Every structure is written in structure tokens, then in C-alpha cells.
Amino acid sequence: MNTKNFEIKKTSCRLCKSKDLKIVYKFKKSPIGDDYQKKIKKTPKFDLKLQFCKKCHFVQLSNVIDPDVVYGNYIYVTQTSHGLSTHFKNLANYLINSGIIKHKSKILEIGSNDGTLLKFFKSISNLSIAVDPAAHLFVDKKVKNIADHFSHKLSKEILDKYGKFETIIANNVLANIDNLDDIFKGIKNIISKNGHLIIETFSLYGVLKNNLIDNIYHEHLSYFTIKSLKKFSEKYGFYLKEVKFLSVKGGSYRFIFQNKTLKTKKIIKNSIIKEKRITGSTIKKFKELQRLNQINSTKFNKFLDKKIKDKKIIAGFGASVGTTTLIYDFAVTNKIKYLFDNEKRRFNLFCPGTKIKVINPKKIKKYNIDYMVIFAWRYTKVILERNKKLFNKKTKFVVPHPQFRILKM
């Protein structure tokens, strides 16, 4: 594969178009994070760097990989992400109970994945449409599934066929889209007067506050703040009605915009002030994180090198796109023997560009593991509890990030 044909370098800010950009965090080159393969094969590596816009303070990746390459073999599904199904159920209840979604509302979801959220609106929605290039992930007779990337062009086709929608939802997808102007033009085209736009996305605030570097990979192009998304949305006539800090995915936001002019509430102004305490010194924060993570990586590698020298068997738990980021940035692709994960879609696949095979946790005892590295570190307690009967008694557990540590069991 000639990577030049699939990679575009970003020379201007995605939001304000300024060319005054500064690299604030550099990872080691890595392949597409979720490109788990059936066979061992060499995979192209791409730059993974964060840019800071000096004009509007927006943070974005320094490059964009062709979406057809990034999502060509997409295997992530919402249902298997711990707690996300319950989270979406609670979101649906909130939107219904607050009157944002009414009886017989027409709903369109951009980036619907496996349809987990839309299923909670079946009893109330007059029409539900799912737009996602990975349409193979679910089939539901009550949901019209459009296998495509949402765009202004597609919105015209949807408008002609289905009319306008009272509610448009875009959860965990906006950060993955390069041309946000085109997306917002499309949303504006098909949303009804006074209609609501609901967006959930992980945040720059969460990345900086909780050191979520495993949330940085080639799918995630943008790292939003309340201020940056609020200002951009107003350009298209969407005004922020509500914003909420969420714990999901380590640190996210829920934005509720309305297709009409609204005065900014005091609670929103206070949220921006809270956020700025962390994001107000973005360059300095990223410099500090780069230093801390390098120290952490050095400690982790020294530990692995010693155990490998002692002939210990080292495996990892968690086979996700975030795991790929950590494995490559910590330079341990040749130090982890196996990966285990509860997601059956990943069984017998290989971590991108490595010889590390993903294995069903039910087979753990067979491999006589000495040290298990919990790459899905935010779910350490869940992993240990869910799989405690499967682990060998001699196995010790290691958490590599955000601070390297050996767990006491």
C-alpha cells in the first residue's frame, strides 16, 4: 500500500481555517488502530501527532487517513463497550422524559454503529433512520439503515425521500469527521424548525485531565472543547441549550443544540469556566503529559525486559484501538506474547502489524501466563471480576497506564 494515496496532511485548522498550527504531542508512528487482521502481515504506519491552533485553540490530528481505509474492516460494536448500552438507555429516557423527543418524532442517527441507541426509541418514533458506513453491524425491520457516510449530498437524498427530522443524533462520531462544514450543512438541511441536535463526544478536557492518550488514534481527528464546538455550531444556526460532563469513555461531553437562537445560560458559562481551568494552558499540559508518559514507558519497558530475560510469559488483556496506540507508543510490539479480550469478533485476529494474536479468555489457563498487562486500564476492576475464575493463581497483573504499577491481589 502506498500510504501517500491514503493520507492527507492538515495544514489548516478544521474549525477556523487558520494555518497557525503547532505540534503539541507526538506519538510513535502506528498503523490504523482497529485494523485487526486474520493473518500476520505488514501494515503501513502513519504519523500520530496533535496540532494546536494558536488562533482558536482547537486541537486536531496533523493528518487524515482515507475513511475507507480506516473503516474498511471495522469491528467495533457499541454493545460490547462496557456500560455504553446502559448509558444510551439512560440518554434515551432523558430525551423522552424531557420532551426533546416526542411521540411520533422522526429521528436520524449519524454514526449509528450497531443500532444500540435507536432501539430505545422504537415505541415512540414515527421514523428512525440509521446512517453508518458499517451498515452490516445490524439489521432491524423498524429502522431504515443507510450504508454511507453522512454528507450534505446525502442529506438532499434523505430530505427528498423522508422529509425533515425533529431530532438528529451524532454520538461518538463527530470527532471522526474531517469536513465538519459539510456535515453541519447536511444537518441544517434536514432538521426541522426548532429541532434538536444531540452530540456526544470525548473531550480535550478529559484527555488532559485524565491522561487519556489511548483515546488518541487515527479515527479521532478532533478534540473538542465546549467553547470551540459552541462557536462553530452557531455559524450554522445551532445554539447550545445544554451541556453535560460525562464519565463515559473516560471523559466526554453531551451537547444539546437547538435549531433556533438561544441566549447562553449561566450554567453553560460556568461549564466553560470549569473546562478552561484544564484547557486554558493546553500546550503546557500536553508538554507535561509527554514527559510523564515517557517516564512511564521507560519504567514499563524495563520491567518487561527483566521478566522476558527471566523467561516469563507476558500477555495483555484488552484488544482495542486504544490498545494499539499504547502498544506502539510504548514500543512493546515484540514483548507481548498474546492478547485476550471478551469480544468474540476479535478472537483469532492479530493486533495490527504484529504477531500478537487475540485469544478467547476461556483459554487463558492453557497459556500459563506469568504477567497479564491490563491495556484496557479504565476497566481493570471489571476485567478482573468478570474473568477471575479463568486466571491462573500464579498470574500477576500489571497496569501500564496512566501510571505503571503491579497490582496487589
Per-residue pLDDT of 167-195, as tens digits, reads 999 999 999 999 999 999 999 999 999 99
Does the pLDDT at position 114 exceed 50? yes
Percent of the chain with pLDDT over 90: 81
Does the pLDDT at position 338 exceed 80? yes
What confidence score (pLDDT) does residue 247 get? 84
- Average pLDDT of the chain to the nearest whole number: 92
Domains 78-277 and 284-406 share a fold: yes
- Termini Cα distance of the chain: 46
pLDDT per position as a tens digit, 46-85: 999 999 999 999 999 999 998 877 876 655 454 556 567 8
Rounded mean pLDDT of 31-40?
94
pLDDT per position as a tens digit, 207-243: 999 999 999 999 999 999 999 999 999 999 999 999 9
What confidence score (pLDDT) does residue 136 get? 64
Does the pLDDT at position 134 exceed 70? yes
What confidence score (pLDDT) does residue 67 get? 84
Does the pLDDT at position 126 exceed 90? no
Domain segments of the chain as ranges: 3-70, 78-277, 284-406
102 grid coordinates: 416526542
CATH class of 284-406: alpha beta
- Region 78-277: CATH code: 3.40.50.150
Percent of the chain with pLDDT over 70: 95
Rounded mean pLDDT of 13-39?
96
